[in-house]
Amino acid sequence: MIVDSHQHIGNLSDALAYDGTEVTSEVDVEADASRRLAAMDALGIDWAILQPSHGYLRADGLAATMRINDRMASYQLFAPGRFCVLGTTEPMHGVAGVQEAERIASLGLRGIAWHHRFQGCYIDSRWMWPTLERMSALGLVPLLHVNVESSMEAHWRLQRLAEDFPHLTFLAMDGLWSYERARHALASAGKTPNVIWDMGGPACYIQAREWVEQNGSTTLCFSADLHYGPREAAQEISLLRHIEASGLDEADRANILGGNLARLFMLT
């Protein structure tokens, strides 16, 4: 089983520096789902975790977040078993954000994803605690980005949450993209075995075997670099080749490529 842990619906055009190009924020769900499935089939990916883009306009506050989550829920209508769909909340919405977590569960979504540098607060904002407490009761999985370029998303901030919520398993995206961050994550991951780290991205400074020898294989997951849009044709995935050639035994490879996430989302 191969699982892509890191796909976004939408784009970041409203949050990034303007270059004069107009990009629509509207998504044709059926067409987008079909393109994603075709790319996944070409690359041998069994299913993928979908999350929203976090650069959307919030002119009408909570209503904008609700529209995003409603759109995410519509992906569940296509190819059951191929998409595991997450929503999002805005920590700075306070109590209303916690209430939106309850609505996310009622929509049948499987978790909540955040990208805090696009959402205006630190990973360990005070509003993360009541949200995570409610998620724990609702059975929702938290996914957070620990992008190496952002102190708001420093990985130690995520690990602070993980230490306070040892009964939750957290997914960490973007955490191994620089040498310093990757080596620190390798050294500190043992303190928070309830964090699963995504190996994908433009650069990874950790060898799969090295990580497994130090932290075990239950704290890594795979992504196929389809983050903000599906590839139109099959391309070799260097990370997949690396894991398959790592010398790890079959059980460890299976954990990284999909087993850890299948168990987390109870899709085995």
- Statement: residue 236 has pLDDT above 60: no
pLDDT recorded at residue 268: 66
Q: Express each pLDDT in 163-194 by its tens digit.
A: 999 999 999 999 998 899 999 999 999 999 99
pLDDT recorded at residue 232: 53
**Which CATH superfamily does the domain covering 3-264 fall into?**
Metal-dependent hydrolases (3.20.20.140)
Segment 56-82 shows an average pLDDT of: 93
Q: What is the 3-state secondary structure (H, E, C) of 121-143?
A: CCCCCCCHHHHHHHHHHHCCEEE
Q: Express each pLDDT in 113-133 by its tens digit.
A: 999 999 999 999 999 999 999
Per the listing, tokens 């790592």 go with 246
Q: Of residues 36 and 229, which shows the higher confidence score?
A: 36
Other C-beta atoms closer than 10 Å to the C-beta of 167 total 6
Per the listing, tokens 């699982």 go with 3
pLDDT recorded at residue 119: 95
Q: Express each pLDDT in 11-30 by its tens digit.
A: 877 777 777 777 666 789 99
pLDDT recorded at residue 11: 81
Count of alpha carbons within 13 Å of 199, Cβ hemisphere only? 29
